[in-house]
C-alpha cells in the first residue's frame, strides 16, 4: 500500500473523522426498455400515468420513447437509495399494463431502425432541444446502439473530507481547486482499475443476433437467434457498441479539470466534415443541433464522468468550470438480469469501497501510453475477461488478470474495513469477500451465470431475458406500494404534466434563436 494511502487511512480512522464517511452520497439511474408480452420493443408512447418525461425528476426517458430511466435522489445510505429505486419500479409496474421492463442491458429484438421511436418531450424549447439532440444521435450513431441500457452510479465523498485532506497535505490553493483535483485523481484511478468492475459485474456476454443488423463481427453463434463470446463479461461495453470516428480523436486524459473541460469545449465547437455535409436541416426540419464533433458535452461516451449539479439553463461544462467537480458518475455498469432492480446492496457496498480506494490511493498523472493501456485492458476484459490465463498490461509488463485482481481486492480491503468501522457491522467486508470468490471461481460472475442459465434451459438470449423480466414483474407486482407512497408518486406524475403544460404555454422566443443562444453559450467560454 502506498504511503499516501496509509496516511489518509490513519487520518480518516481517527475517532473525530470516522463519521465523515457516513456522509458520502449515492444516487442511481437505471435505464430499461419497455417490452411487450412477446418480448418485442413496446412502440407505445411514454405512459402518461408515469408523468411527463421532461419534468418528472424520478421517471424520465433516455434515448427512445421506449427506454425508461428511473432516477433516485442522492442519499447518504445506499440502502435508502435502493429502497427509493425499488419504489419507483413498483410504481412503474402499477401503470405498465401488460408491458414489461426488459431485464438485461442488451436490447430485445428490435424493429427496423426507422421504427424505433425517439423520445419526445413536447413543444417547449428545451423539450424540442432534447428531441433534436436525439435525432442527431440517430443520424450519427444509429438508433439501435441507443437502445442499450445501463446503470449509472453517482457517488460523492462528504464535502468535509476535502478540507481535512487538503490541510493535512499542505495543498496550496482553494478548497474547490483541491476538491476538483482530487476527483480528477479518482477518475484517473478509475480508468486504471475499472476493468475489475467489468470482470466482477459485467452481465452481457450474449445478445440478440438481429442487434448487429447484418454487420460483420467476431462473435460466435449460440443458436439461430443469439450471438455471444464464451469468455466475454460485457459486450455492452465492447467496441460493438459505439464506434464513432468523430469521437476517435477525442480522448480527455484527465490530468486536470482544465484540460478535461477544454477538450470537451473544443469538441462542442469544432465542425466535423461528414456532419457539416449533412447540415442541421433537411426539408426545413432540424436533424441535429449542430455539425460539430459533439452536439453537446453529454454526447461524449466515457466510463466515468466528473459532474456538478447545473442551474437552469446552464451547461455541464459551465457548471464544472464555475464551481468545480461535485461528484462522479460511473457509467460502465451492466444491468444484472438476475436482480429485480439490476443492482443490489452488496454491489453498492463494494462500489463504495472501490471508489474510496480510487480516491485515497496515489494517482499519478497519465504518461506515455498509460491512457491507451487503460483502454486496452478494459476492452480485453469486456471481451474475454473469463478466459483462463488472460494477461493485462501494468507499467509496461504483462500481468495475469487473476493475480492483479486478487492484489487489488487485498488493497481495497482496508477501505472496506474503514467503511465498516464508520457505519458499524461488516457489510462492506462481506461484499468484498463475495468479489474475491468470483476472482477465484469465474463461474460465480454474472456473465458466466447468464450463459449457464441459457445452457441449462436450452434457451436463446431473448427467451432467457423474457423469463427474467417476467420473474421481476411478478416480484414487483406481488407487493404493491403502500397507499401513501402510491398517492405520492401519482401526485408527482400529475404535477409534472401540469409543469410541462405551463412551460409550453408561457414560453416566449423562437426555437431557432434558442438553439443559437445555447450554442453561443459554449462559444462564449471558448474564447
Query: What are the residue ranges spanned by the domains of the chain?
Result: 3-526
Of 273, 290, 252, the residue nearest 522 (C-alpha): 290
Average pLDDT over residues 277-304: 95
For residues 358 and 335, is the Cβ–Cβ distance under 8 A? no
d(CA 297, CA 303): 14
Residue 446 buriedness (CB in 10 A; 0-12 / 13-18 / 19+): buried
Kindly report the CA angle at 225 between 219 and 231, in degrees rounded to 5?
35
Residue 241 has a pLDDT of 52
Residue 330 has a pLDDT of 98
pLDDT bin (cut points 50, 70, 90) of residue 18 is: very high
Of 404, 103, 379, 337, the residue nearest 234 (C-alpha): 379
Residue 179 has a pLDDT of 97
Residue 502 has a pLDDT of 98
On whether the 3-526 domain is CATH 3.30.460.10, my answer is: no
d(CA 7, CA 179): 18
- Name the more confident of 296 and 525: 296
Look at residue 441 and tell me whether its pLDDT is greater than 90. yes
Average pLDDT over residues 209-229: 95
Q: What percent of the chain clears pLDDT 70, i.e. is strictly above it?
A: 98
Look at residue 1 and tell me whether its pLDDT is greater than 90. no
**Each residue of 387-437: pLDDT tens digit?**
999 999 999 999 999 999 999 999 999 999 999 999 999 999 999 999 999
Residue 268 has a pLDDT of 93
d(CA 406, CA 72): 32
Of 313, 272, 248, the residue nearest 280 (C-alpha): 272
3-state secondary structure 317-353: HHHHHHHCCCEEEEEEECCCCCCCCCCCHHHHHHHHH
pLDDT bin (cut points 50, 70, 90) of residue 523 is: confident
**Each residue of 132-174: pLDDT tens digit?**
999 999 999 999 999 999 999 999 999 999 999 999 999 999 9
d(CA 176, CA 509): 36
The number of beta carbons lying within 10 Å of the beta carbon of residue 391 is: 15
Residue 524 has a pLDDT of 73
d(CA 130, CA 288): 10
Query: Model pTM?
Result: 0.97
Residue 243 has a pLDDT of 57
Look at residue 36 and tell me whether its pLDDT is greater than 60. yes
Average pLDDT over residues 29-42: 98
Residue 252 has a pLDDT of 77
Average pLDDT over residues 183-188: 97
DSSP sequence for 22-54: GG-EEEEEEEEEEE-TTSSB--SPPPGGG--TT
* Alpha helices (runs of H) in 242-369, residue ranges in sequence order: 245-248, 257-269, 273-278, 316-323, 345-360
Average pLDDT along the chain: 95
Residue 40 has a pLDDT of 98
**Each residue of 294-331: pLDDT tens digit?**
999 999 989 999 999 999 888 999 999 999 999 999 99
**Each residue of 236-255: pLDDT tens digit?**
999 885 556 788 777 777 89
Look at residue 526 and tell me whether its pLDDT is greater than 70. no
Amino acid at each position: 500500500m502506498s504511503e499516501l494511502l496509509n496516511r489518509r487511512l490513519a487520518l480518516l480512522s481517527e475517532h473525530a473523522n470516522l463519521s465523515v464517511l457516513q456522509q458520502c452520497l449515492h444516487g442511481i439511474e437505471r435505464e430499461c426498455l419497455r417490452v411487450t408480452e412477446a418480448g418485442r420493443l413496446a412502440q407505445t408512447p411514454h405512459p402518461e400515468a408515469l408523468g411527463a418525461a421532461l419534468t418528472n425528476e424520478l421517471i424520465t426517458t433516455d434515448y427512445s420513447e421506449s427506454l425508461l430511466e428511473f432516477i433516485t435522489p442522492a442519499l447518504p445510505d445506499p440502502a435508502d437509495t435502493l429502497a427509493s429505486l425499488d419504489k419507483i419500479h413498483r410504481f412503474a409496474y402499477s401503470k405498465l399494463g401488460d408491458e414489461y421492463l426488459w431485464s438485461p442491458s442488451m436490447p430485445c429484438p428490435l424493429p427496423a431502425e426507422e421504427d424505433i421511436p425517439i423520445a419526445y418531450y413536447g413543444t417547449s424549447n428545451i423539450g424540442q432541444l432534447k428531441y433534436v439532440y436525439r435525432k442527431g444521435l440517430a443520424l450519427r450513431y444509429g438508433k439501435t446502439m441507443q437502445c442499450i441500457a445501463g446503470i449509472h452510479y453517482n457517488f460523492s465523498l462528504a464535502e468535509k473530507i476535502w478540507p481535512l485532506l487538503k490541510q493535512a497535505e499542505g495543498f496550496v490553493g482553494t478548497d474547490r481547486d483541491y476538491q476538483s483535483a482530487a476527483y480528477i485523481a479518482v477518475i484517473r484511478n478509475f480508468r486504471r482499475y475499472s476493468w475489475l468492475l467489468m470482470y466482477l459485474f459485467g452481465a452481457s456476454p450474449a445478445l440478440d443476433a438481429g442487434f448487429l443488423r447484418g454487420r460483420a463481427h467476431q462473435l460466435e453463434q449460440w443458436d439461430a437467434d443469439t450471438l455471444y463470446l464464451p469468455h466475454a463479461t460485457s459486450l455492452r461495453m465492447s467496441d460493438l457498441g459505439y464506434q464513432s470516428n468523430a469521437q476517435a480523436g477525442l480522448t480527455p486524459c484527465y490530468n486536470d479539470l482544465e484540460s478535461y473541460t477544454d477538450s470537451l469545449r473544443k469538441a462542442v465547437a469544432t465542425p466535423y466534415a461528414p456532419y457539416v455535409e449533412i447540415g442541421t436541416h433537411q426539408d426545413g426540419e432540424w436533424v441535429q443541433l449542430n455539425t460539430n464533433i459533439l452536439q453537446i458535452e453529454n454526447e461524449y461516451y466515457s466510463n466515468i464522468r466528473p459532474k456538478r449539479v447545473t442551474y437552469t439553463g446552464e451547461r455541464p461544462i459551465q457548471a464544472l468550470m464555475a464551481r468545480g467537480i461535485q461528484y462522479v458518475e460511473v457509467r460502465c455498469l451492466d444491468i444484472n438480469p438476475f436482480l429485480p432492480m439490476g443492482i443490489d446492496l452488496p454491489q453498492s457496498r463494494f462500489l463504495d469501497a472501490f471508489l474510496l480506494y480510487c480516491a485515497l490511493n496515489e494517482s499519478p498523472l497519465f504518461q506515455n501510453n498509460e491512457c491507451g493501456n487503460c483502454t486496452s485492458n478494459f476492452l480485453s476484459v469486456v471481451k474475454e475477461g473469463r478466459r483462463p490465463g488472460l494477461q493485462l498490461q501494468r507499467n509496461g509488463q504483462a500481468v495475469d488478470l487473476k493475480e492483479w485482481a486478487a492484489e487489488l481486492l487485498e488493497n481495497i480491503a482496508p477501505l472496506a474495513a474503514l467503511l465498516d468501522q464508520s457505519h458499524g457491522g461488516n457489510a462492506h467486508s462481506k461484499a468484498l469477500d463475495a468479489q474475491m470468490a468470483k476472482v477465484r471461481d469465474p463461474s460465480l460472475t454474472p456473465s458466466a451465470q447468464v450463459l449457464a442459465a441459457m445452457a441449462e434451459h436450452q434457451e436463446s438470449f431473448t427467451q432467457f431475458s423474457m423469463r427474467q423480466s417476467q420473474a421481476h414483474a411478478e416480484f414487483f407486482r406481488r407487493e404493491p406500494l403502500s397507499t401513501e407512497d402510491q398517492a405520492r408518486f401519482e401526485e408527482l406524475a400529475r404535477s409534472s404534466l401540469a409543469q410541462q403544460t405551463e412551460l409550453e404555454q408561457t414560453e416566449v422566443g423562437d426555437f431557432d434563436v434558442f438553439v443559437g443562444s445555447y450554442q453561443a453559450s459554449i462559444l462564449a467560454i471558448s474564447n
